[in-house]
A and B are shown apart, each in its own frame.
Chain A
């Protein structure tokens, strides 16, 4: 040390040496720290950095569309602005949701549910908190973007049903997947849409498509920078239904005033042209996210609009069941076409009088007239000769008492009683008197409108029972055929040609003869065959004028029909709940209009529309 240190060079050197050691020591400490972070824990930090920047994003597949048999879209997708929150990008999720609610001008969010959904969702995945916001909401949210970190607007496909309630029970609706559905179905996540009802549910697997995914790189604000890898989604398949939208809409209009159901199908293959259940609902409210009060209104409604009466409504078939009894009687030889029975307006059996609907009685009737005029006494006696189990056998051969197997959920089987059934059900033997009621479609007998459509279709087509179906083709997004649904013959009723001919002739006269009960279904140029039915809801000791009865106790009106009689193209089943009138008065005019409209559609200009209904008697 050259300098003149007062403490001597050694003292200064000592201090510098100590400083040097201190410097080296602290730097070594930092070096150790770096070793720990970068070498020891490097992998951990690296995966954290990947999590930081790489987010897995789901690419939801566009749901397939649904068309009617003529290619008219029935169920479509349209773009909608959805409000999406990435909870990790918000400071306070609950506060952010409330703030968005403020901007949207509604307290429509269930914050608790959304928070639960946020927890159930993989990190950094967006949560749709509101679908299909309107333009002013889009503008408002865009304007306040900076105050709402983590909130963004996404354009997503929204399911739309352009015809609203038309065919709602058939097409069904979609909604966000529920927790129980998440347990049941694989490959779904919170917030995904799933078919909840109708075709949307039954054909979920076909319609949904395969969701894809992409790894995206994001910056610290969660903004997407680029796509690292991508598994493209596959668009769902399109469905082409057997339904004719025009006939469906027309029928819905006809039924506007009624509760009930209508099924129109093709007897030669089971294709459903129209399936109506009234009252109905608008599936669009489900697609955009149903509000709680809307849901409550739908489910608490006494008329149960969500119930598909065509397949879930079980009604006594009433006189329409006489077709079954007649077929059984002819096949079993209980009667011949020439067997006559006297109807005096009632039939005494086991100390009871079983009335005919016609007070004065029909006089002497054979099978043909008994069907045409719907004589109850004739069928009481025929039923007695046959016995309940024989009747049940024929009813089952015609598809009653069991679900048809249409691709819709919750189909009811109806009920065809047998003596064995009664013993099992009630522990009692079958009473012969009960057979009389069964023979005219009352008592324990229950059928759905779809089953009755299938019965009349089977009689019309020569005895082959087809499974009712409403999907014709499934195509992929580029229009290539994926699956063609073939008609499925479920069995043959095993009825002789002569039997079928005899019944069809009678059904022709039900509509076309002057004494027929279904004259109101008569068309001027094309022959319609059919059978009326009026099923009692409430057994009365004596007759009361129907308009004095409480509505829910009034009779149901039935009409089953097919046309043209000689080469049937359509089978129709009409049921009107608590119609306040008989099948001939209430249901037959509807079948008339349906058939009229159908032939106007298919025959084109050469077809002359009917100007009025055929007759005015029940």
Chain B
């Protein structure tokens, strides 16, 4: 705790990153407020209040994440990974059912999504692994076996929930970290060849998708096929975003949103709510905030004292990035609707708190880039 008051640490606290994140959270909470706004009621929306409460918890979590030297995490990486895995295993046994899938664990007054915590644990564990395996000539294929074995169990468990989107994000995050760690040219070649050889297996894969997932794929390719069924989400979302026009319909005046045409408006489709009300101008501002957050984060990665920190920060950023891209892609009709929330923006406690904790780690990495090497490299 002594380190917390080190003036150098305070000096290197990345306020820009923190403010960018809080800016996005602020806009998000406002949108959650609008999405759950009930003009007939004078009470402020419960969702917005809860989101603000979760954001406060998140700030606490983020600050908790900078109180210790991030390198300590290396030591507890597998403990965290094992704990996360246990929680994930608990989900199908005692989890609660929503919308046909089991993704939540109930803890009295609130429920958590173990997959969110697992994501952080996987990032830490992969960072630790690659930290040790990075070599000048690049990663060999056999260096990728362990990451694959680490990634597969949570992905399989999450696929079983079923939550195709989150499982995909896991893979994207792991792949991003692999790319940063740097496979050798030969490894890339083998992966590419293996990927190509997988193509004939595609029909088999498709036949094992759940009917609703297949339907989402089909309607992604042609939403008009089923305008009131599976294609409804995409069409309504595009109507919401498109009708926002250049300057938007104004806060709380999004008709698509207020009249409940938008599905899952405070979670997956919160961006549609935002874009309808704030228009192109607002959407560009929001995307710029994300871009700035990313670029600032990458600078942190580049300045990190050692590989573990760089990999850790990069993994956290990759998670934010892929979630954002997939969510924005699906709400604008570029990608199939896979149920991914917009990071820092969508309503959801577990997600927000873990994301903020993750960003706390990035800030931690930045703060401690000048710290003496007190923790031995073991």
Instruction: Name A residues whose Cβ lies closer than 8 Å to a Cβ of B.
Output: 1-8, 11-13, 15-16, 19-20, 23-24, 26-27, 29-31, 33-35, 37-39, 41-46, 48-50, 52-53, 91, 217-221, 225
Q: Which B residues touch A43, using CB under 8 A?
A: 245
| Other A-B pairs beyond A27-B325, A38-B242, 13, CB < 8 Å | A2-B303, A3-B304, A3-B306, A7-B136, A20-B295, A24-B291, A27-B290, A42-B244, A45-B245, A49-B242, A52-B259, A218-B259, A225-B259
With contact pairs A38-B283, A53-B261 given, residues A30 and B332 touching in the complex (Cβ less than 8 Å): yes
Interface size class of B (residues with CB under 8 A): 35 or more
In the complex, what residues of A have CB within 8 A of residue B280's CB? 34-35, 38-39, 42
Select from chain B the residue with minimum beta-carbon distance to A38.
B280
Which residues on B sit within 8 Å (CB–CB) of A33? Answer: 332-334
Chain B nearest CB from A434 CB (Å) reads 75
Chain A residues within an 8 Å CB radius of B244: 38, 42
Which residues of chain B from 268 to 295 have any CB-CB distance to chain A below 8 Å in the complex?
A: 275-276, 279-280, 283-284, 287, 290-291, 294-295
A15:B182 contact, CB within 8 angstroms = yes
Cα A53 to Cα B244 in complex, Å, equals: 15
Task: Give the complex CA separation of A31 and B310 in angstroms.
Answer: 28
CB <8 Å contact, A48 and B302: no
B180 touching A48, Cβ below 8 Å: no
Q: Say whether B135 faces chain A, with CB atoms less than 8 Å apart.
A: yes
The reply to whether the CB of B241 lies closer than 8 angstroms to some CB of chain A is yes
B239 and A48 form a contact (CB under 8 A): yes
B298 near A38 (CB under 8 angstroms)? no
A selection of 19 A-B contacts at a CB cut-off of 8 Å is: A3-B310, A5-B307, A7-B135, A12-B302, A15-B182, A19-B176, A23-B298, A24-B295, A27-B325, A30-B332, A34-B241, A38-B245, A38-B246, A39-B280, A45-B242, A49-B239, A50-B255, A52-B236, A219-B260
CB contact between A91 and one of B228, B276, B279, B304 (< 8 Å): that residue: B228
Q: Using Cβ atoms and an 8 Å threshold, which residues of chain A touch B182?
A: 7, 11, 15
Q: How far is the CB of A577 from chain B (nearest CB, A)?
A: 60
| Cβ contact of A220, chosen from B134, B260, B284, cutoff 8 A | B260
Instruction: Tell me which residues from 208 to 267 in chain B have a Cβ below 8 Å from any Cβ of chain A.
Output: 228, 236, 238-246, 255-256, 259-261
Tell me the bound Cα distance from A458 to B164 in angstroms.
93
B136 neighbours in A (Cβ, 8 Å): 6-8
Contact across chains for B240 and A49 when beta carbons are under 8 A apart: yes
- Within the assembled complex, what's the spacing in Å between the Cα atoms of A225 and B40? 10
Chain B, 325-353, CB within 8 A of any chain A CB: 325, 328-329, 332-334
Q: Which residues of A contact B70 (CB under 8 A)?
A: none
Q: Which 4 residue pairs spanning A and B have beta carbons closest together?
A: A45-B242, A49-B243, A42-B245, A38-B280
Q: Does B12 contact A (CB under 8 A)?
A: no
For B260, the chain A residues whose CB sits under 8 A away are 219-221
* Contact assessment for A220 and B261 in the assembled complex, using a CB-CB cutoff below 8 Å: yes
Does A52 lie within 8 Å of B290, measured CB to CB?
A: no
Q: Complex: how many Å from CA A265 to CA B328?
A: 81
Contact partners of A24 in chain B: CB under 8 A? 291, 295
Q: B-side interface residues toward A, CB under 8 Å? A: 134-136, 138, 176, 179-180, 182, 228, 236, 238-246, 255-256, 259-261, 275-276, 279-280, 283-284, 287, 290-291, 294-295, 298, 301-307, 309-310, 314, 321, 325, 328-329, 332-334, 369
**Which A residues touch B301, using CB under 8 A?**
16
Is A45's CB under 8 angstroms from B243's CB?
Answer: yes
Q: Tell me the bound Cα distance from A438 to B256 in angstroms.
A: 80
Is the Cβ of B329 less than 8 Å from the Cβ of A2?
Answer: no
A48 touches B287 (CB 8 A): no
Among B245, B305, B333, chain A packs the most CB atoms within 10 A around the CB of B245
Do B310 and A38 have beta carbons less than 8 Å apart?
no
- CA gap between A220 and B314 in the complex, in Å: 42
Question: Contacts of B287 on A, CB cut-off 8 Å?
Answer: 27, 30-31, 34
- Expressed in whole angstroms, the minimum distance between the Cβ of A585 and any Cβ of chain B is 73
In-complex Cβ contact of B238 among A20, A37, A91 (8 A): A37
Q: How far is the CA of A1 from the CA of B242 in the complex (A)?
A: 44
Are A23 and B259 neighbours in the complex by a CB distance under 8 Å?
no
**B284 touching A31, Cβ below 8 Å:** yes
CB of B311 to closest CB in A, whole Å: 10
Contact B245 A7 (CB under 8 A): no
- What is the CA–CA distance of A352 and B249 in the complex, to the nearest angstrom? 98
Chain A nearest Cβ from B16, distance in angstroms: 16
Instruction: For the complex, give the distance between the alpha carbons of A3 and B325 in Å.
Output: 30
Residues of A within 8 A of B325 (CB): 26-27, 30
Query: B residues within 8 A CB of A6?
Result: 134-136
Q: Is the CB of A23 within 8 A of B243?
A: no
Question: By the criterion CB–CB under 8 Å, are A41 and B298 in contact?
Answer: no
Query: Which residue of chain A lies nearest to B261 when distances are taken between CB atoms in the complex?
Result: A220
Main secondary structure of the interface of B (DSSP, over half): helix
Chain A residues with CB under 8 A of B243: 42, 45-46, 48-50
**CB atoms of B245 and A1 under 8 A apart:** no
Which chain A residues border B238 with CB–CB below 8 Å? Answer: 37, 45
Q: Are B334 and A30 closer than 8 Å at their CB atoms?
A: yes
Whether B332 lies near A37 (C-beta < 8 A) is: yes
- A221→B287 CA distance, assembly (Å): 32
* B137 closest partner in A (C-beta): A7
Q: Are B135 and A219 in contact (CB under 8 A)?
A: no
With A7-B136, A16-B301, A42-B245 as given contacts, are A219 and B284 in contact (CB-CB < 8 Å)?
Answer: no
Q: How far is the CA of A333 from the CA of B133 in the complex (A)?
A: 139
- Among the listed B242, B255, B305, which residue makes an inter-chain contact with A53, where contact means beta carbons less than 8 Å apart? B255
A12→B310 contact, CB < 8 A? yes
Which residues on the A side are within 8 Å of B259 (C-beta)? 52-53, 217-220, 225
Once A19-B180, A42-B246 are accepted as A-B contacts, the answer to whether A37 and B241 lie under 8 Å apart by CB is yes
B28 CB to nearest chain A CB (Å): 17
- How far apart are the CA atoms of A53 and B329 in the complex, in Å? 25
Chain A residues whose C-beta falls within 8 Å of the C-beta of B291 in the assembled complex: 23-24, 27
Instruction: Indicate which residue in A44, A49, A221 contacts B256 across the interface (CB closer than 8 Å).
Output: A49
Partner of B242, one of A30, A37, A91: A37
| CA of A181 to CA of B306, assembled, Å | 86
Residue of B nearest to A6 (CB): B136
What distance in Å separates the Cβ of B377 from its nearest Cβ neighbour in chain A?
10
**Known contacts A7-B182, A13-B302, A16-B302; A38/B241 CB under 8 A:** yes
Query: A19 CA to B130 CA in the complex, in Å?
Result: 18
B-side contacts of A44, CB under 8 Å: 242
Contact A7 B134 (CB under 8 A): yes
Q: Which residues of A contact B303 (CB under 8 A)?
A: 1-2
A221 to B369, CA, bound (A): 56
Inter-chain CA distance A556–B333, complex, in Å, is 81
Question: Separation in Å of the A406 CB from the closest CB of chain B?
Answer: 54
B74 to chain A, nearest CB (A): 14
CA distance A318 to B114 in the complex (A): 102
Residue contact A3 to B241, C-beta cutoff 8 Å? no
Residue among B134, B238, B280, B307 with the most chain A CB within 10 A?
Answer: B280
Do A15 and B179 contact each other (CB < 8 Å), given the known contacts A27-B287, A42-B242, A220-B259?
A: yes
A237 to B66, CA, bound (A): 81
B298 to chain A, nearest CB (A): 5
Q: Which residues of A contact B255 (CB under 8 A)?
A: 49-50, 52-53, 217
For B256, list chain A residues within 8 Å (CB).
Answer: 49, 52-53
Q: Which of B298, B305, B332 contacts A19 (CB 8 A)?
A: B298
Which partner residue on chain A sits nearest B283 by CB separation?
A: A34
A23–B318 alpha-carbon span in the complex (Å): 10
- Is there contact, CB below 8 Å, between B245 and A39? yes
B169 to chain A, nearest CB (A): 14
* Contact flag A30-B134 (CB < 8 Å), given A5-B307, A35-B280, A42-B244: no
- Kindly provide the distance from the CB of B318 to the nearest chain A CB, expressed in whole angstroms: 8
Check B242–A46 contact: CB distance below 8 A: yes
- Residues of chain A within 8 A of B239, CB atoms compared: 45, 48-49, 52
Q: How far is the CA of A45 from the CA of B254 in the complex (A)?
A: 13
Given contacts A53-B259, A53-B261, contact A20 B294 (CB under 8 A): yes
Which of A26, A38, A219, A225 has the most chain B CB atoms closer than 10 A to its own CB? A38
Contact B310–A23 (Cβ < 8 Å): no
Minimum distance in angstroms from A443 CB to a CB of chain B: 72
